[in-house]
Amino acid sequence: MAAVKEIRKSWLWPGFKIFSLLVWALLAGCGVTPYKSEFTCPPTYEGLCESPIDAYRDSVHGIDPRKFDPEWQKRRKKWEEKHRELLSARKQAKRQAENATQADFAPNYRAQLFEELKGIISAPETPVLLPPKVMRALVLGTPDGKIYVAPHYVFFILDEPRWVLRKIPERKISPPRKARDRKESENEKSTDERIKEVD
């Protein structure tokens, strides 16, 4: 009797009930999973379950293992009967592609490419990249106690390079000072001579 009372007390222990519920939930959860342990591949629609080496061999040699499966053959025949129009359109397109050789397409493609290049070359607006304006400044040497800074140049970029899609205005380069003075004196002489001629 004492042993029976001890067993009843253990059943009444509150931690035992919780423990038994957890064990039952874990065991039930493992049995509910949809996959069986003997599978190596999950179930797929008309897929194949084979090793990577076999799949590689089949792909290299162009073998479709489903063609040897009688169930797949039955499903394929049913599908072909259901989609006859689609299959006939595919066969017709394949025949047309076989009849049209690559030589037929080459001249048309070449002519189209030349037309495109001709349009690009003869386009009135060709993009031009204007270089940036760079300024050079001379910094003279300066003594600073025990340090002497030698004369050197410093370069500044005044503006960034930019794309231009129009005619670029030509920069007028002014001639050196002496040449400008000579031109001005020649112009003055010519106007004096004209005045004399008029008189």
- Each residue of 27-67: pLDDT tens digit? 666 666 655 556 566 666 566 777 788 888 888 887 777 77
Examine the pLDDT at 100 and tell me if it is beyond 80: no
Which of 40-49, 107-116, 127-136 is modeled with the greatest confidence?
127-136
pLDDT band at 153 (very low <50, low <70, confident <90, very high): very high
Q: What is the pLDDT of residue 154?
A: 93
Q: How far is CA 104 from CA 96, 97, 112, 114, 168, in A?
A: 12, 11, 13, 17, 44
- In terms of pLDDT, which residue wins out, 185 or 135? 135
Average pLDDT, the chain: 73
Q: Is pLDDT at 114 greater than 80 in this prediction?
A: yes
Residue-range domain boundaries for the chain: 45-95, 124-167
| Claim: this prediction has a pTM higher than 0.85 | no
Q: What pLDDT, on the 0 to 100 scale, is given for residue 33?
A: 62
In this predicted structure, the answer to whether residue 110 has a pLDDT above a threshold of 60 is yes
Q: Where are the alpha helices (DSSP H) in 62-176?
A: 70-82, 84-99, 102-121
> Would you state the pLDDT for residue 189?
56
Alpha-carbon distance values, 75 to 67, 79, 80, 82 (Å): 11, 6, 9, 11
